[in-house]
Structure 1
Amino acid sequence: MEAATFEKPWFRFYELNVRRRVEIPEITLVEMLKQTTLKFPENPALIFGGKTITYREMDSLIERMAKVLRQRGVKKGDRISIFMPNSANWVISFFAIQRVGAIVVQTNPLYVESELKALLQDSGAIGIVSIPPLLPRISPIQAEVGLEFIALDYLSKVSGLAGLGLADNPVYIDLEEKLSDPSIDELETPPFVCQSNDTAVLQYTGGTTGTAKGVMLTHYNLVANALQAWEWIVGHEGKERILTVLPLFHIYALTACMNFSILSGGAMIILPRFDIDAVLQHINDYEPTFFPGAPTMYVAVINHPRIKEYKVSSIRCCLSGSAPLPKEVAIRFGELTGGRLVEAYGLSEASPATHLNPIFNSRVGSIGVPAPNTDAKIMDLETGQKELPAGEIGELVVKGDQVMSGYWQKPEETAAVLQDGWLYTGDIAYKDEDGFFYIVDRKKDMIISGGYNVYPRDVEEVLYTHPAVREAVCAGIANPYWGEMVKAYIVTKEGSNVTEEEILNYCQDKLATFKIPKQIEFRESLPKTAVGKVLRRYLVDEERERMLLQENAGAKAEVAATEELTESINV
């Protein structure tokens, strides 16, 4: 990105030692790792399952796995999927794929067979790295999607391999067996063929609101965003310990946990999934300094009944991303733990971070200010061509070194969101006079009720301040009178017996009448993605299906009544 030619208002809110512009070296992720390995060979790189792997050991394992991939014919530009939960071998697999010049296809291990099939077909992946428990979702589609190999972790620990159809099948690779084979050392070291502008990752996005698209992120994009985050945190090289419980298939974790850690010579404390007791125990035992997470994770922390029994003082800061951070959660987290919890903002198309709150001068409710090497503005919603002044609501657009090169094999979709280097985010926002930005909502999530625009986040912020509310989300539900009505879905705190009437009365003097929910549904839990983002669209679809069932039932009842009336007349 070209250096700004004029002063930006947000620069004066940068913390001391944070530069406005960072020089981004034209290196690959593999070269970034090599530099760290040379500098900190004996530093812990990965802590997983009670075992620690140093940078020197990790580098050796990556080289061995790269040889295995090369032996199977993997070449530059090939796409390889990683389909497994967080683990040390997830990280090793990622860098081994990069080492041979291939592209990692990010794949959610929670995907069912049809979802996995769609992504593998779209990306044209020729191989997949996974674990045996996920084989029932892979094997049935292997031939159809053209997978040339399935590399399996922990295969030696599985009994009854014959039942899995693996015996003497050349498609399957036992990674543990291969990586421990001494003959691997005799294989030629794969030549390094990557350049910084080559695509490193296909990060699929949009699956919850439409057809999933593969975001093409280059090595340069990902190195840049890791450097931008490192510059912002003002960390201690070689001494950071990053709690990695966010799923690594998600771009947020890939940058804020993995790439940030490797750039800094830090250690990744890896958990396969979010379990609040396990998370707090890992914080207590391994003393992480940095905890990137999602709002729902911090909600679980502040509501844990024994939070004060755990040592949490090692955490210097927490960055909240992937979904809006309710003000009440940020405030209560600080009160209970003493940690700095600030909101950041990003999207897959920007590797992901574009905005961060100053760690010690954050503004609760704001996503912060643009990161170094990043510009941002608000454009009108009608044409997208007119820049709006401070205080006016429009679409957030961003520009920077971290912005994607485009969508995989989708030139029209790429042209729709990338205009003259500016990325149109699809988020409705405004900025204040100081250059702090505030997300109002997603374009697609805005509710039009009785002709008024209602932004779900406005309502959710009020609901979160109610002492009985643990989690809340609002959605627009089709209604014959209002067009759309605001419906709130609420998870209450344990032991609470709050009623719908009490919640609505609470909203009376805190929200305009048209914003107050017309309906409230109490639930045991809310549907979420793997990183804790509430699936608002799922709730809307659920309501639509419910209404269709009611309409069908009503129609059947009407037909039955007509038939009964006809029969009585005939009699």
Structure 2
Amino acid sequence: MIFKSKYPDIKVPQVGIYQYVTSNPKNIPDDKTVYIDGITGKSYTYGEFKHESKKFAAGLQDKLGFKRGDVLAIFSPNQVDYPIVLLGTVAAGGKVTTANPKYQATELSYQLTNSGASVLIMHPQFIETGIKAAIKAKIPTSKVLLFGDKEIKGYKPYRFTLIGNREIEPVSYNPEEAKTATVYLPFSSGTTGKQKGVELTHTNIIANLEQLINAKCNLGPQSIIMGILPFYHIYSLSCILHGTLIHGATLVILPSFNVETFCGSIQKYKINHIYAVPPIILQLVNNPVVQNYDLSSVNLIISGAAPLSEELAKKCFKMFKIPTFQAYGLTETSPVLHHPDTIDLSNAISGSIGLLVPNVKAKLLSEDGLELGYNESGELWVHGPNVMKGYLKNKEATDSAFDKDGFFNTGDIATVDKQGILFTK
């Protein structure tokens, strides 16, 4: 049988991502701070973000000859300029491939080559790896630029090279273009084999943001979000970076997890909404240094990327009185497929749990390909506007991931109960 979301269907805006995230449905003022570097204190207001990203887009076009459909790669840990580069590229009509800063040169050069990246923006901390990979991928030195404000080994900061006075009118997309134009190329192992570029369209990302808004994700201008999860990963890229703008929230950005810095930032900035992964929650529960900090501002932790145990969720609630829930998704689904529908810890169950987000259908298949019903365990296949366009330059992998009806094979085992709650193993 086909399982449908219990939420009513929603209408997904058929526009480009830049236009969507700057549509300002919450009417926040231009002087509201949206991005803060939790280490340095450097910040961008909503107005500054718009100006800087449009200047970055102009610089790409004017100085580097960047055209609509070109690909820019970001190789960096989280930092406050990341959204400028990311969404500035989108404003210029480009695609962005986000790379894991822990990659070795061979892994990075593979992603640069496979994605067709013609520009690389990298963090000075990883300059040696970035230079080697760029040379191997044949990206000219003039198109390899740095975050920060120092020239290193002849490589210049993007800010000095690209940011001038001109701002562009961001490239716009009609409904058909929004649906078909790839905007992000994160790389995923998929269910098998070598890393594959996942083609996510403007509509894919916008659909998932709208799905979360309608699935009661409890975000708004009052929200102060923890930005600890790596921005190169779709979970953080979509839910955190883009979510901050569409909800009019404030994001406190940290480059990596350190328990003192993490807890100190919660206390200093009164962070109230945390996206995390189970190892972070484990640290909160087990590390005695946490008791030195006031975490009372936090009213919700959403965990993703790996299964959260019932025991850990309940322990966190018992210690801090913070409801802690599991969301579920994949890079290929932009990413969230189901989300906790209620902030009530009595519903916490081992594994991943929640309602399918709006506009998503699912089916469960047995090992011999038969469709299963309620409370039967099988392979999860999904269909919805947030499901990827396909794997980049890999028709074989794309064809094997979808069935004739357009359902995508997650590769995960799940069950659905009669209330429509999806449990993934």
CA shift for structure 1 position 179: 5.3
Seen in structure 2, the aligned counterparts of structure 1 residues 126 and 179 have a Cα distance that, compared at 3 Å, is closer
Q: Which residue of 2 aligns with 1:425?
A: 410
Are 2:51 and 2:167, in contact at CA under 8 Å, matched by a contact in 1? no
Code of the residue aligned with 2:366 in structure 1: it is: D
| In the alignment, structure 1 residue 189 sits paired with structure 2 residue 160 | no
Which secondary structure does the structure 2 equivalent of 1:80 belong to? strand
Code of the residue aligned with 1:251 in structure 2: it is: I
Distance 1:359 1:259 in 2: 23
Q: Report percent identity of matched pairs.
A: 29
| In the alignment, structure 1 residue 46 sits paired with structure 2 residue 68 | no
Distance 1:124 1:252 in 2: 23
Are 2:365 and 2:371, in contact at CA under 8 Å, matched by a contact in 1? yes
Q: Which residue of 1 aligns with 2:121?
A: 129
Gaps of 5+ in 1: 1-5, 12-18, 167-171, 441-571
Match for 1:435 among 399, 420, 423? 420
Code of the residue aligned with 2:79 in structure 1: it is: S
Distance 1:23 1:434 in 2: 24
Which secondary structure does the structure 1 equivalent of 2:69 belong to? coil
Q: Which residue of 1 aligns with 2:368?
A: 382
Q: Which residue of 2 aligns with 1:394?
A: 378
Code of the residue aligned with 1:426 in structure 2: it is: G
Q: Which residue of 2 aligns with 1:95?
A: 87
Distance 1:135 1:51 in 2: 22
Q: Which residue of 1 aligns with 2:13?
A: 25
Seen in structure 2, the aligned counterparts of structure 1 residues 379 and 7 have a Cα distance that, compared at 3 Å, is closer
Matches within 5 A, 1:419-498: 419=403, 420-440=405-425
Are 1:43 and 1:266, in contact at CA under 8 Å, matched by a contact in 2? no
* Cα offsets for 1:166-207 (capped at 9, x unmatched): 1xxxxx442232356xxx22x473662444221110011008
Q: Looking at both structures, which has the greater relative contact order when contacts are Cα pairs under 8 Å and sequence separation is at least 6?
A: 2
CA shift for structure 1 position 144: 3.1
Which secondary structure does the structure 2 equivalent of 1:437 belong to? strand
State how many pairs are aligned. Answer: 411
Code of the residue aligned with 2:245 in structure 1: it is: I
CA shift for structure 1 position 364: 1.6
Seen in structure 2, the aligned counterparts of structure 1 residues 217 and 83 have a Cα distance that, compared at 3 Å, is same
| In the alignment, structure 1 residue 363 sits paired with structure 2 residue 348 | yes
Q: Which residue of 2 aligns with 1:138?
A: 130
Seen in structure 2, the aligned counterparts of structure 1 residues 131 and 375 have a Cα distance that, compared at 3 Å, is same
Are 2:74 and 2:97, in contact at CA under 8 Å, matched by a contact in 1? yes
Are 1:70 and 1:190, in contact at CA under 8 Å, matched by a contact in 2? no
Seen in structure 2, the aligned counterparts of structure 1 residues 121 and 178 have a Cα distance that, compared at 3 Å, is closer
Are 1:28 and 1:196, in contact at CA under 8 Å, matched by a contact in 2? yes
Larger Rg: 1
Are 2:205 and 2:334, in contact at CA under 8 Å, matched by a contact in 1? yes
- Alpha-carbon RMSD across the aligned residues, in angstroms, is 2.2
Distance 1:296 1:53 in 2: 30
Q: Which residue of 2 aligns with 1:405?
A: 389
Are 1:237 and 1:265, in contact at CA under 8 Å, matched by a contact in 2? yes
* Cα offsets for 1:468-504 (capped at 9, x unmatched): xxxxxxxxxxxxxxxxxxxxxxxxxxxxxxxxxxxxx
Distance 2:261 2:65 in 1: 40
Match for 1:276 among 244, 259, 278? 259
| In the alignment, structure 1 residue 177 sits paired with structure 2 residue 165 | no
Q: Which residue of 2 aligns with 1:56?
A: 47
Are 2:375 and 2:416, in contact at CA under 8 Å, matched by a contact in 1? yes
Match for 1:373 among 327, 335, 359? 359
Name the TM-score, length of structure 1 as normaliser.
Answer: 0.68
Are 1:132 and 1:155, in contact at CA under 8 Å, matched by a contact in 2? no
Distance 1:202 1:234 in 2: 25
Distance 2:380 2:191 in 1: 21
| In the alignment, structure 1 residue 118 sits paired with structure 2 residue 110 | yes
CA shift for structure 1 position 236: 5.2
Seen in structure 2, the aligned counterparts of structure 1 residues 132 and 308 have a Cα distance that, compared at 3 Å, is closer
Q: Which residue of 2 aligns with 1:151?
A: 145
Distance 1:311 1:154 in 2: 32
Code of the residue aligned with 2:178 in structure 1: it is: S
Matches within 5 A, 1:178-217: 178=161, 184-185=164-165, 187=166, 189=168, 192-194=171-173, 195-197=177-179, 198-206=181-189, 210-217=193-200
Distance 1:253 1:293 in 2: 10
Are 1:20 and 1:373, in contact at CA under 8 Å, matched by a contact in 2? yes
CA shift for structure 1 position 155: 4.2
Name the TM-score, length of structure 2 as normaliser.
Answer: 0.91
Code of the residue aligned with 2:74 in structure 1: it is: I
Distance 1:376 1:336 in 2: 36
Code of the residue aligned with 2:359 in structure 1: it is: N
Gaps of 5+ in 2: none
CA shift for structure 1 position 7: 9.0
Match for 2:235 among 235, 247, 252? 252
